[in-house]
Chain A
Amino acid sequence: MAVITTGKRVQWTIIDVIVVVYALVPVLWTLSLSFKSKATIGDGSFIPKEWSFQSYLDIFKTDDFLLALVNSIGISLIATAIAVVLGTMAAYAIARLDFPGKTVLVGFSLLVAMFPQVSLVSPLFSIERSLALFDTWPGLILPYITFALPLAIYTLSAFFREIPWELEKAAKMDGATPGQAFRRVIAPLAAPGVFTTAILVFIFCWNDFLFAISLTATTRSRTVPAALQFFTGASQFEDPTGQICAAAVVITIPIVLFVLFFQRRIVAGLTSGAVKG
């Protein structure tokens, strides 16, 4: 195992290249379309023959994209913050405390994780209209929190099980209440897991399309994934392809940054939450 032959190295390099091409081609294609000039956008070539920033300038010309971007960022951040706080509390209790109803809660959040979201679209549409939540930020934040919670609870309770709990005991020995032990000792230790969970939850909220398109009607709360299809170009006769791609690139940037900087954590978070020995 210690010696890696050149043949093996070449073999693995080829396989790696295949994986990289597989993963990046659709992304590079969107990037390429976003940089093509209006004259060459329909030429079918994978690499732009004429480079242009026009599409990027165009999407910021009107308020539509900017408002959608603000909605996306605001709604995703608020939903992530709330889901992570509630998830942390529940996961701590599940991983550490003995209380009646724990099994029920674990089973119930599993149910929510499997829940077909489209089944909620009709009733939520009706309920939110009568509560004046339709087409508002809270109207989207609520379902996002709900469906992010199982993810948060599973990932976090998996992380929490890895924490050296003797420290908690020591704190209790020194007279801390369970609540204090949670806040002062365990929370700082749990921060990396909480951070990873926040990334996963944010990606989930950022990605949503079904709720975004069913529970919004105007730029007041429409997020970018839902807004993309309303791009019509500067005039009615203009092809919006370039602008859609430019907007797509903009909302892909945070994902690429997360992946580049936190690859290890994301992999750990996704695998620990789902499968255990």
Chain B
Amino acid sequence: MSQTIDTARPAHRAKAKPVLSEGKRAERRLGLLLCAPAAIVMLAVTGWPIIYSVWLSLQRYDLRFPGKQEFVGLANYGTVLSNGYWWTAFGTTALITVVSVVIELVLGMALALIMHRTLVGRGLVRTVSLIPYGIVTVVAAFSWKFAWTPSTGYLATLMGSDTAVLTQKLPALSAIVLAEVWKTTPFMALLLMAGLALVPDDLLKAASMDGAGAWQRFTRVMLPVMKPAILVALLFRTLDAFRIFDNIFILTGGSQGTGSVSMQTYDNLIRGLNLGIGSTMSVLIFIAVAVIAFVFIKVFGTAAPGSDSGRR
């Protein structure tokens, strides 16, 4: 994962291998001991279920007809992948992900610059922008839902109360994106602000001396220095947005083709009680997320956060 660890470690180990001192051995034992509980819990709750999920996805397994459980091979995958609803949900999810992450990046960058540079009320701005981050997504989603409800909501009143925004596909999708952007922009901004703190002031001053304008300083000096931070923020937000569930569940319940892949999986499992199909979707989402992460890490060269933690 990280070059520094991969190259540094074997050398280090080779040096330590021949004779492990008593203290060194105790250190190793303690290290493994301290990590074991965390590793075991994470492995037990993610590793085993995902394998179990693969196995379930190869079965016909409908809790309404438990007697009919049987091995059906890849038939479930055929059913899901040839289903229009799945692809609609997939397209919706991809659309929401791309649009909201792009808007969040722009707004988040602006907010990061504001939080970093503002001359008045810096503490206030930071405190206030943590509220969308901390608030329960469902609570915020209800707030947006009631705001768009005809006659009840201030936004509905503002827009002219005869249109029910959440009952038409495109307006509903926009409302979902707005709710998502509102909630997660501060998180994006905080990640970007950490990158912003790495930009040396001297470099900005030097660029300014050389006659670079504000925009040039931003694109030529700040962006290159911030690139790793931006990529990490994008990776995390993209994966997170792809899992979108809460906002859609509350705002539209997935009607009018606004359901995400997570909504589809939930519907098949809890409302349809179809474990086989639900698990198939679980596995497909897992693969999609793995592909996104792979693209980010290998193609864009996003450094995995924490990967330098082996550095001493």
Contact = CB atoms under 8 A, between A and B. Distances in A.
Nearest to A44: B157
Nearest to B111: A19
Contact of A209 (B27, B118, B229, B249): B249
B194 A29 contact: no
B38 interface: yes
A19 B152 contact: no
A90 B283 CA distance: 29
Interface in B235-253: 235-236, 239, 242-243, 245-246, 249-250
A92 to B, nearest CB: 6
Nearest to B130: A259
Interface string B276-312: 0011011101101100010000000000111111101
A142 B48 CA distance: 13
A189 interface: no
Contacts of B144: 26
Contacts of A95: 309
Interface stretch (B29-37, B98-106, B212-220): B29-37
Nearest to A224: B136
The listed residue with most A CB atoms (<10 A of its CB), out of B23, B249, B269, is: B269
Contacts of A214: 266, 269-270
A106 B191 contact: no
Contacts of A167: none
A42 B151 contact: yes
B228 to A, nearest CB: 7
Interface string A115-126: 111111111111
Chain A contact residues: over half helix, strand or loop, or mixed? Answer: helix
A15 B127 contact: no
A97 B312 CA distance: 9
Nearest to B187: A270
Chain B contact residues: over half helix, strand or loop, or mixed? Answer: helix
Contact of B130 (A100, A125, A154, A266): A266
B254 to A, nearest CB: 13
A125 B140 contact: no
Interface in B95-132: 111, 114, 118-121, 123-132
A211 B269 CA distance: 13
A263 interface: yes
B290 to A, nearest CB: 8
A112 B310 CA distance: 19
A74 interface: no
Contact of B120 (A12, A142, A150, A153): A12
Interface stretch (B49-57, B77-85, B165-173): B49-57
Contacts, number: 348
A16 to B, nearest CB: 5
Contacts of B125: 16, 19-20
A275 B139 contact: no
Interface string A80-110: 0000001101101111011111110111111
Interface string A237-277: 00001001100100110011011100100110011111111
B26 A177 contact: yes
B64 interface: no
B256 interface: no
A206 B136 CA distance: 7
B102 to A, nearest CB: 18
Given A12-B118, A267-B126, A110 B304 contact: yes
A235 interface: no
A12 B152 contact: no
B35 A271 contact: no
B215 to A, nearest CB: 17
A277 B195 CA distance: 8
Interface in B1-49: 1-2, 5-6, 9, 12-13, 16, 23-24, 26-32, 34-35, 37-39, 41-43, 45-46, 48-49
B1 A106 contact: yes
Nearest to B205: A1
B35 A101 contact: yes
A4 interface: yes
Given A23-B129, A256-B131, A126 B275 contact: yes
Contacts of A161: 309
Given A103-B1, A154-B305, A29 B32 contact: no
A275 B142 contact: no
A229 interface: yes
B242 A116 contact: yes
B163 interface: no
* Across the A-B interface, the 10 shortest Cβ-Cβ residue pairs: A99-B31, A123-B49, A271-B194, A97-B31, A44-B157, A146-B45, A90-B38, A93-B34, A122-B278, A275-B194
20 contacts: A19-B129, A20-B124, A23-B129, A90-B39, A93-B31, A99-B29, A102-B310, A103-B5, A109-B42, A114-B239, A118-B262, A119-B53, A124-B45, A127-B48, A143-B45, A158-B306, A178-B30, A213-B270, A274-B233, A277-B198
